Amino acid sequence: MYVHPAILLISGALIASVGFAQDKNAPTLDELVSKNIEAKGGADAFRGVQSLTLSGKMLVQQGQIHLT
């Protein structure tokens, strides 16, 4: 089967760009979660929460949903 050289070139360029685009110093999930907990007062404050109340408004117009 014959593959056009342009297709091979474009495919190779796309694959290479994905490899170079990845940040090697990106934080892990555990690091992100621990930073978030510390920013909100630490693990003890997080464990001390007894209840959580959420409020908001939902608008549905012509098939579009807008949550605020």
pLDDT tens for 4-60 read 788 888 888 888 777 776 667 778 899 999 999 999 899 898 888 889 888 888 888
Indicate the residue type of 25.
N
Q: Do 68 and 56 contact (CB within 8 A), yes or no? A: yes
**Burial (Cβ within 10 Å: 0-12, 13-18, ≥19) of residue 37:** middle
pTM of the model: 0.41
Q: Which residue has the tokens 């495919």?
A: 11
